[in-house]
Amino acid sequence: MPTPHIDKKWRELLPRIEELAARAGLKYNPVDFEAVPESFMMEIAVYGLPVRMPHWSFGVRYISQLIQHRMGHSRLFEVVFPGNPGHAYLAAGNSLAENMLVTAHVLGHADFSRNNMLFRSSQQQVGDHIVEQAASHARQITMAVEEHGLKRVELVLDAALALEQHIDVDRRVQRERYPEYQAAKPEPPDDAFSKRFAALNPDEAARDEGPKLKRAAIPPHPERDLLWFIANYAPELEGWERDIFLAVREESFYFHPVHATQIMNEGWASYWHARLLREADFLPQGAYVDAIKCHSDVVRPIAGGDKVALGINPYHLGFSMWEDIVERDGMDAARRIMQEDDDVSFVRNQLNAELAAKLQLFRFGADSSGSVKVLETDLNALHEVIVGPKYNFGAPSVAASHVRVDGTLELAHDYKVDGRGIDVERTKKVLEYVEKVWRRPVIMHTVDSHGTEIALSTPADSK
């Protein structure tokens, strides 16, 4: 193990910041801090976990990030993972002032991830050692590559990672298979009506006996957890392939709260770094000023020099909302909201008209020529556009609806919920991935641009 390369001065100040945080009411699991080189920071950000399974798609993201980074678009200060203990990675290039800010920020995240309901439920199910679990998945995949070859493992990962958003967070990580038989019909109640009914036509009553057990349809209801469904019901899936699907699925359950609470979580951490720093009278004056400058860069809504931003900075929005809530209703109310909400309810319930006006939020639309028009500032419209990408883990609502006798898997896209059809070309490609592991044809029902129902399938020659 490397020696954590963190400034000695910082080590001295850490307990004092933690003390401030505890006094302010933050409740968090202990956090392990580690300073890591920038290249490693970038990998963590790209993979979403410090050590994660290999897949070429991460390489694409990595290079895109690297190019953006080299072109000077962004800089990462920290990445933090919930758990017990939590893990925080600080960029080795951070100055002392930046690290003080970052530490306070990390404690805010740690408080959030220990108390927010979605995080708690996910950690109860996945366990609070996601960093270690992901590393063990990575090892599992590496071993599968050794045993079965890169090509075969890659085919499985292509499919599993393409479906990574398709889990059902309303059900648990550990799920039983569907019952094999339909529930038996309840015995007719022993009352006067039933007796008279049976006496009416004894033949009919006898015929009704039939075989008691009937096989249940698979799936018995539209199944949204595609990773689980394929892992359990793909006709010829091998054991190691199933394990890969389940590994990806487990990580998805971990990623879900991260996705579903981004505005709240970043806002919460930003609120706390600003507040703890204000209260940290032990900081050298220069460091305080530097840290506050860094803070204003991070929560800056609009890039320097611009008047208008087409997009919102979640740090800024979340930060402004938490300040507003604390000022309006007090810290207890804020903590309750932090524990119970996700971004959808948070934005809908807490982003009010005054704040939206103060933040100068507006809805815009782009026409075919690419010119952008400011459309409205109506609060409900703003809510819906902001939370739109948050529904259903940011993915179209797709469920496994039926398995035909020949093994063909039918997927149904709930276009009524999503408001429009699914991207045809991409869908065909994903169906190709899935077909390689399902090993039977796979079909997707959706609508075309005119709202007519269509069924997509993979091209015949891909088999």
459 binds other proteins (CB under 8 A): no
Q: Which helix (H) or strand (E) holds 136?
A: helix 130-148
451 binds other proteins (CB under 8 A): no
Q: Is 17 left (phi over 0), alpha (psi -120 to 50) or beta?
A: alpha
| Min separation Cβ 414 and other proteins, Å | 11
Q: Give the one residue of 13, 96, 276, 382 binding other proteins; rule: CB under 8 A.
A: 382
C-beta of residue 94 within 8 angstroms of C-beta of residue 85: no
C-beta of residue 210 within 8 angstroms of C-beta of residue 185: no
Beta carbons within 10 angstroms of residue 149's beta carbon: 10
Beta carbons within 10 angstroms of residue 306's beta carbon: 9
Nearer to other proteins, 88 or 173 (CB): 88
Distances (CA, A) of 179 to 56, 169, 216, 243: 38, 20, 7, 22
Contact letters for other proteins, residues 278-317 (x by CB under 8 A) = ----------------x--xx-xxxx--xxxxxxxxxxx-
Distance CA 157, CA 36 (A): 28
| Min separation Cβ 38 and other proteins, Å | 5
Nearer to other proteins, 221 or 293 (CB): 293
326 binds other proteins (CB under 8 A): no
Q: Which of 70, 92, 132, 99 shows the shortest CA–CA distance to 11? A: 99
The structure tokens 């306070």 sit at 104
| Min separation Cβ 425 and other proteins, Å | 8
Stretch that binds other proteins, among 62-70, 244-252, 334-342, 401-409 (CB under 8 A): 62-70
Binding residues among 8-47 for other proteins as defined by CB under 8 A:
35-40, 42-43, 45-47
| Min separation Cβ 119 and other proteins, Å | 17
Beta carbons within 10 angstroms of residue 160's beta carbon: 27
| Min separation Cβ 273 and other proteins, Å | 8
Contact letters for other proteins, residues 115-154 (x by CB under 8 A) = -----------------------------------x----
| Min separation Cβ 234 and other proteins, Å | 18
Interhelix angle for 424-438 vs 150-162, to 10°? Answer: 130
Stretch that binds other proteins, among 15-23, 120-128, 211-219, 357-365 (CB under 8 A): 357-365
| Min separation Cβ 190 and other proteins, Å | 52
Nearer to other proteins, 217 or 375 (CB): 375
Distance CA 294, CA 290 (A): 6
Nearer to other proteins, 158 or 251 (CB): 158
